[in-house]
Amino acid sequence: MRWSEEEARIRTAICRIGKLGYDRSYIVGADGNISAMMSDGTILITPTGAMKGFLEPDHIAHVDMTGRALDDGPRPSSEVGIHLVAYSERPDCKAIFHAHPPHAVALTIAGIDMQMPVIPEIIVTIGGIPTAPFGTPGTPELPETIRSLVRCSDVMMMQNHGSVTLGANLMDAYKKLDMLEHTAKILWLAHVAKGGLEPLPEEAVRKMLETRSMLGIKTRNTLENRCGL
């Protein structure tokens, strides 16, 4: 199969990012899905039922913004709707990673708030991690649960299910997933050690948010825009 240089590069990158996520146990078995948008507005996405740690470039599906397959290749993920909603609401977004990071999913089940301002690095960058209400996987109900959150956050959880991270490119989406699960691990350990947490004082949070402009950080921040709060 002959691909353009751009398509070949993105197909290879999706495979590499899938292996990273698999090796870090952010996805297991056939869990999760990864996509990236090409310059022509079409989408390359992992196929249904595939183990993301063992992908090859010709395994990747190619669809338009309605989810319609554009070639005779593999069928796209059954959760392609998550990606279509995110791309339609966020024209700046060029890549999406939907994963099942275990600590973060566990916190949604336990009802532990990941929006709470506790960790300075997260406060300054993404702000917090909002959680969408539960939606039935594999149905049109699921992507609609995140529609309002993707408008104002790059990082979010789906109740009892998994995470969705948006990026300017595939590595950016993966980086935010890495940050999300690292945050969840810290919160998990803190809850085990203390049995509950208190947010940092409002004044301390305000001062940290003020450093964003000095540091040149312009990403969406849920504590600034009150996303999910």
CA-wise closest residue to 164 among 173, 108, 141, 107: 173
Longest dimension (CA), the chain: 58
79 annotated active-site: yes
Active-site hit among 5, 6, 7, 79 = 79
131-132 and 155-158 beta bridge pairing: parallel
Provide the token pair at 87.
């791309």
**Range 208-215 contact pairs with CB under 8 angstroms and sequence separation of 24 or more:** 208/120, 208/123, 208/124, 209/123, 209/124, 211/124, 212/124, 215/124
Task: Kindly list the distances between the CA atom of residue 135 and the CA atoms of 78, 86, 88, in Å, as whole numbers in the listed order.
Answer: 14, 16, 19
Q: Which residues are catalytic?
A: 79
